[in-house]
Structure 1
Amino acid sequence: MLKRLLGLKSRPDAADRLYAHAVAQARDVRFYAGLGVADRIDSRFELYVLHVQLLILRLQELGDEGRDLAQRLFDVFVSALDNDLRELGVGDLSVAKKMRKLSEQVYGRMSAYEPGLKGGDETDLAGALGRNVAPEASAAGSALAGYALAAKAALAGQDVRALIQGPNWPEVPA
């Protein structure tokens, strides 16, 4: 009742569900056990960025409704980052500065991945993913690039409803 009085959401909307799907996929143990991505907060962050970006790119292809949902998904992602900082004990006075830095990292990663994802350039994408996601596992960049391009292709065949219900992600290479 208090949530209703304060105007807070009681059920997740489509953007929340999409974000939850991206996070669940990014947490797939095969990224860490099979590909050699380090199971650390920074590596998980990198995989969250990749999966959110894959969904955003697909949604942007679906007209005005998709672009609106893509923006809402991005907003949910940024809000989740803010909440995570607070849960990690970052004080209110420091959150804005840390969020600015995280936002720069998100935009930087998305800018680095977008050309390879849109153009299907596996070499360029492998370099960017290798530097950011798994710098200590040299083969992981190539495997991640192949996975990301397969994910982009798989998402291309799915409409908004299918994405919201649960994207059909490709297998994570082992």
Structure 2
Amino acid sequence: VDGRFDLIALHTFLIIRRLSGSDASEKEHELAQVLFDLMFADMDRNLREMGVGDLGVGRKVRDMVSAFYGRAEAYEKALQGMDKSPENTTEALVDALRRNLYRDASPDDQQVRKMAGYVQKLVRRLSEQTAEAFLRGDIRFASIPFQ
């Protein structure tokens, strides 16, 4: 569950970040909230399917929401100034990804750097997409770096 949550949280954060920018329309802000709500409704449903009891689901979902906000804060901090200082952003992202995505795993530096590059490419790709595309559900992700 953790790895799945971590990747969903990362991608959801990046989409919400794009939809919540200072130049975003009211509909984009609304879509960002809907996406957030759907993500956690899905997590709730998945926990129940895995056999977590009613009393435990609420607590686990609250913990996931808290974890999401913590990750979102770390990723946002790492991405600030991406256009002005891509090298510093890469280093900040490597650190944020190690702590929040990989956590107990031990990927080598090259793997984490590839993921940081993917995140930066995805941020740029999402910024190029129109509000109309998002509202139609036509979101284009960046290609994933293999090897």
Q: Is the counterpart of residue 112 in structure 1 residue 112 in structure 2?
A: no
Question: Equivalent residues in 2 for 1:19-168 (5 A)?
Answer: 41-61=1-21, 62-120=24-82, 121-134=89-102, 135-139=105-109, 140-163=111-134, 164-168=136-140
* TM-score when normalising by structure 1: 0.71
Long gaps (5+) in structure 1: 1-40
Spell out, residue by residue over 1:36-80, the C-alpha distance to the aligned partner (whole angstroms, 9 max, x if none).
xxxxx3112111011101111111132221111111111111111
The 8 Å contact of residues 128 and 141 in structure 1, kept in 2 or not, is answered as: no
1:169 is the counterpart of 2:141: yes
Unaligned 5+ segments in structure 2 are 83-88
Question: Which amino acid in structure 1 is aligned with residue 91 of structure 2?
Answer: T
CA contact (8 A) 1:59 1:70 kept: yes
The alignment-based identity, stated in percent, is 36
Distance in 2 (CA, whole Å) between partners of 1:165 and 1:68 is 14
Aligned to 2:86: none
* Aligned-residue CA RMSD (Å): 1.4
Shift, 1:133, TM fit = 1.9
TM-score, scaled to structure 2: 0.84
CA deviation vs aligned residue, 1:7-42 (integer Å, no higher than 9, x gap): xxxxxxxxxxxxxxxxxxxxxxxxxxxxxxxxxx31
Which structure's relative contact order is higher, taking Cα pairs within 8 Å and 6+ residues apart? 1
Count of residues paired in the alignment = 134
CA positional deviation for 1:119: 2.6
